[in-house]
Structure 1
Amino acid sequence: MQLPWDALATGHGLPPPGATVELEGVAFAPQDMPRGYAILLPEAACCLGCRPDPAMAVEVLFADEAPAGPGPHRLAGTWHALPAEDPTGWRWQLRGARALPSAAAPGPWLRRRALLAAGPLLCAAAACAEAPAPSPAARALVEAAAPMDLHSHAGHVILSRTRLRPFDPVAAPMREGGMRLIALAMVADSPTTTVTPDRRIEAYRSPAPGELYAHSKEAFARLAALVAGQGLAVVTDQASLRTALQPGAGPSVVVASEGADWLEGRLERLEEAVQAHRLRHLQLVHYRVNELGDIQTAAPVHEGLTGFGAEVIRACNRLGVVVDVAHGTYWLTQRAAEVTQKPLVLSHTGLSGRPGLRSRWITAEHARLVAATGGVVGVWPLMGAEAPTLRAYAAGIARMVDAVGIEHVGIGSDMLGLLATPAFGDYRETPALAEALLAQGFAPAEAARILGGNYARVLAATLPG
């Protein structure tokens, strides 16, 4: 029998122990595990913050060697349910598994883009030769679009817990690739988070009173030093945004904070950051549950957005600061959409039909909450099981466009914030990304909205006059 993943999620229609079943998914192979063993998931883990959900994961014991690569794989084997007290924490097993030919069919987003996009996608999956230089049409698109990145740590702007890294070039790659503006983000909770042995980021301790406020001052100062040292313009209001959008303008930044942990429950610090650090883009939460609300990668505490979080959103609306709900739960985003009077941003994520319990991917319903405010969802260049190519990235962007509409999708690179290999990891590749969007089937005007026009609209609706 073909076993749908819905059966695991609902508990209905599960096969009896010993039944022969077929199951299709993506293989996750933990380190130091024997050959012939893997964990099958409905979709690839997306990032450091994700972990396999035992309720939606199947241990696979292969009859022979496991198939190469993450897949997706279609497997057949004998079904077993593990006892609740199993020490490993897993709940399901597929024993004596063997690989079958995949029966996956293209989704509606691929059919919508028709044959114009199908060839490049299949080529990317086959790891074909390096793409040719971007065409004159792609370069003209970049010049007209004024590309923008909704979330970036370019230049190694993040203040490290252990050592102070030298800055990398930011202005030069932006200028060479035509990237016009980036939301350059410091990270608010770094002193209290760690990378676990299984490569997740999570909070491991509570901060001391005032600790994250003091950290924010140092982190904003590092960002300011990078900006000044490389001659980057800072967009703070409508006039500076118009200047940044002029043809031939140099690279610019919007000062952003990934997490508002440094507020520590004190609203007056928001206006202080606006004045002292030119903050104009605030992500409410990151990798620790803070005073504003719950995060996707940890157990909920607040049932979404807190009352203080709602106060912060209202203050951001008043002060001209973009509100970013990345890393927040569906329930946080739902409440934020009810509170805000300005468009929301969800700066870096990807679309999934069924995200895992602690996944950073989001559903179409989650994305539509942001779109309903007039906002923008930034698609990140993590490709899961797919090869990290610009063609695959353009396909992921197309999936998001099909879910929320062309007016509500942008680029959220998380530049230098990812350990996995991204499909878009250098601003010099911006013309090649434009080429991939055109090859995906987007008209130039559509691609221009994705590359920068949609975020520019949100900034224009939010920044002070």
Structure 2
Amino acid sequence: MAPVEAAERHDYFLLTPEPVCCRSCLPADPSRCVEVLASEPLALSSYPVRLRGRWRRLADDDPAGWRWQLRDAQIVATLPRPDDGSGLSRRLVLAAASLFYPAIAAAQGPSEVPRPTESPGRAQHLERARQLIAQTVSVDIHSHAGHVLGSRNPFTSVADPMREGGMALVCLAMVADSPVIRILQEQRRIVANRTPEPGELYAWGRRSFERVTDLVRKQQLAVVTNAATLTEARRRGPAVVISAEGADFLEGRIERLHEAQATWSLRHLQLTHYRVNELGDIQTEAPQQGGLTDFGADVVRTCNRLGIVVDVAHGTLDLVKRAASVTTKPLVLSHTSLSAKPGARSRLISPDHAKIIARTGGVIGIWPPATIFADLAAYAGGIARMVDAVGIDHVGIGSDMLGLLSPAAFDNYRQLPDLAAALLAAGFKPDEAGKILGGNYVRVFTATTG
């Protein structure tokens, strides 16, 4: 169920074979979408659903391009999401009792159904979750927390929610192509809308790094640059890794990477964003450069030497393949989720795409748009599916905090204990949940920075 606008309930939406995060993730073939007009506004589910209504085939000249329509639609059933592999995963078996318990209780009568907040199992998971967080260096691999984006908006608190929820470290990212991208509201997607002037994105990058530094100073956040400062920051309190979403500020000049590392403490670099830049192609636009460019490969090698984590989020499969062949350090793909067959311009990735990251020893951050994951339980399920695809050592949390176009299942660091509890309820052992919550990224960061 894919919404066409942000709202809590919808009487108009699209039915798609796979969950989508935005309009650019819709199937390229319009025959694989069904336009749905519901009989009343519905809360959309990220799980497979069965609908009933009046079926209609649309004319080939329909202005929106859709071929099929369901009118007066009603939800008949919400179904379990099929496992991505063959057979049942271990976590699905372990979680089966909690999935079926509400149905059993309902059969006994409404008065016997316990409220979720009163469930002894939930309380037990939450207590174990708090203990787990206290023993874990928890990390958000991709964040714009504190309203660090923009140039004039006042900052909001980063340290307090981190401290209250137990989030130890966030990769706090400026956005390098902001002056030349825009949001298409009707399509709920982001595109580049003009060619930057020479020097424009370099100047923007400097101002953006200054804004990140200003936020860090005002909120007394520690800046982590290597394993030693990571250990110290864990003892002192909330900390950040200075990050960039897009390397557009380089404008094709490798010496600016040295400058960002030395002057702004850059330690996490995402190569591309929503503009096809000098480093390579992006998922949301048609390929133009065959993947990672020669300059992009040079940037990867230089990051390896300088101790900067290389992030290939937003990059095409061909970009990721070449980056994996060039790098000597683990790669990160900071914010995405798994799809068996991603759309042509989707930000989601296939199992094969994910496995390339895993083979470098890297980590994939799962992001939490509510259009994909309706709640933390669904989000934990999405994390579990990625673990089933690539292994427990290669999955993390990439919230894209304050960077999503839609609401999110995980939208405040105060929710971290609830997320940890959801992972435990999904069948992860405490040591496995600890890897997902931060241990895997700490390993990659330490291997990269020394």
What is residue 204 of structure 1 aligned with on the other side? 193
Q: How does 1:33-432 map to 2 (within 5 A)?
A: 38-47=13-22, 50-51=25-26, 53-55=28-30, 57-60=32-35, 65=39, 68-71=42-45, 72-74=48-50, 80=57, 83=60, 86=61, 88=63, 90=65, 92-94=67-69, 101-102=76-77, 104=79, 106-108=81-83, 111-118=89-96, 120=98, 129-130=116-117, 135-160=126-151, 164-198=152-186, 199-245=188-234, 248-384=235-371, 386-387=373-374, 389-432=375-418
Q: How does 1:2-17 map to 2 (within 5 A)?
A: none
User: By how many angstroms is 1:50 displaced?
Assistant: 3.9
Letter in 2 for 1:174: M
Deviates more, 1:437-446 or 1:69-78: 69-78
Tell me if structure 2 keeps the 8 A contact 1:234–1:254: yes
Tell me if structure 2 keeps the 8 A contact 1:59–1:90: no
Tell me if structure 1 keeps the 8 A contact 2:373–2:379: no
Unpaired runs of 5+ residues, structure 1, are: 1-25
Deviates more, 1:73-82 or 1:44-53: 73-82
Q: Secondary structure at the match of 1:279?
A: coil
Tell me if structure 2 keeps the 8 A contact 1:54–1:89: no
Return closer, same or farther for 1:56/1:281 CA change in 2, 3 Å cut-off: farther
Q: Secondary structure at the match of 2:210?
A: helix
What is residue 449 of structure 1 aligned with on the other side? 435
Return closer, same or farther for 1:317/1:105 CA change in 2, 3 Å cut-off: same
Letter in 1 for 2:182: T
- Aligned CA-pair RMSD: 3.0
CA distance in 2, matches of 1:45, 1:154: 23
Return closer, same or farther for 1:264/1:239 CA change in 2, 3 Å cut-off: same
Tell me if structure 2 keeps the 8 A contact 1:134–1:431: no
Return closer, same or farther for 1:36/1:135 CA change in 2, 3 Å cut-off: closer
Tell me if structure 2 keeps the 8 A contact 1:78–1:97: no
Deviates more, 1:195-204 or 1:69-78: 69-78
CA distance in 2, matches of 1:165, 1:61: 38
Tell me if structure 1 keeps the 8 A contact 2:283–2:345: yes
Return closer, same or farther for 1:48/1:230 CA change in 2, 3 Å cut-off: farther
User: By how many angstroms is 1:135 displaced?
Assistant: 3.4
Deviates more, 1:426-435 or 1:284-293: 426-435
What is residue 112 of structure 2 aligned with on the other side? none
CA distance in 2, matches of 1:335, 1:407: 22
User: By how many angstroms is 1:82 displaced?
Assistant: 5.4
Identity across matched positions, percent: 53
Return closer, same or farther for 1:334/1:56 CA change in 2, 3 Å cut-off: farther
Tell me if structure 1 keeps the 8 A contact 2:377–2:422: yes
User: By how many angstroms is 1:66 displaced?
Assistant: 7.4
Deviates more, 1:70-79 or 1:413-422: 70-79
User: By how many angstroms is 1:134 displaced?
Assistant: 6.4
Letter in 2 for 1:141: L
CA distance in 2, matches of 1:185, 1:424: 18
CA distance in 1, matches of 2:264, 2:216: 12
Q: Secondary structure at the match of 1:354?
A: coil
Q: How many residues align?
A: 428
CA distance in 2, matches of 1:141, 1:296: 36
Deviations 1:117-175 (A, max 9, x none): 2355578999x745659633211100111101100111111124xxx111111112212
Letter in 2 for 1:261: D
Tell me if structure 2 keeps the 8 A contact 1:133–1:432: no
CA distance in 1, matches of 2:207, 2:100: 47
Return closer, same or farther for 1:30/1:258 CA change in 2, 3 Å cut-off: closer
Return closer, same or farther for 1:28/1:231 CA change in 2, 3 Å cut-off: closer
Deviates more, 1:227-236 or 1:104-113: 104-113
Deviations 1:327-349 (A, max 9, x none): 11111111111111100000011
Unpaired runs of 5+ residues, structure 2, are: 107-114
Tell me if structure 1 keeps the 8 A contact 2:142–2:170: yes
Letter in 2 for 1:167: F
User: By how many angstroms is 1:423 displaced?
Assistant: 1.3
CA distance in 2, matches of 1:444, 1:91: 46
Q: So what's the TM-score if we normalise by structure 1?
A: 0.84
CA distance in 1, matches of 2:78, 2:434: 35
CA distance in 2, matches of 1:273, 1:349: 26
Q: So what's the TM-score if we normalise by structure 2?
A: 0.86
Return closer, same or farther for 1:413/1:133 CA change in 2, 3 Å cut-off: farther
CA distance in 2, matches of 1:447, 1:70: 28
Return closer, same or farther for 1:68/1:136 CA change in 2, 3 Å cut-off: closer
Return closer, same or farther for 1:286/1:402 CA change in 2, 3 Å cut-off: same
User: By how many angstroms is 1:405 displaced?
Assistant: 0.3
Deviates more, 1:50-59 or 1:198-207: 50-59
Letter in 2 for 1:410: G
CA distance in 2, matches of 1:233, 1:37: 46
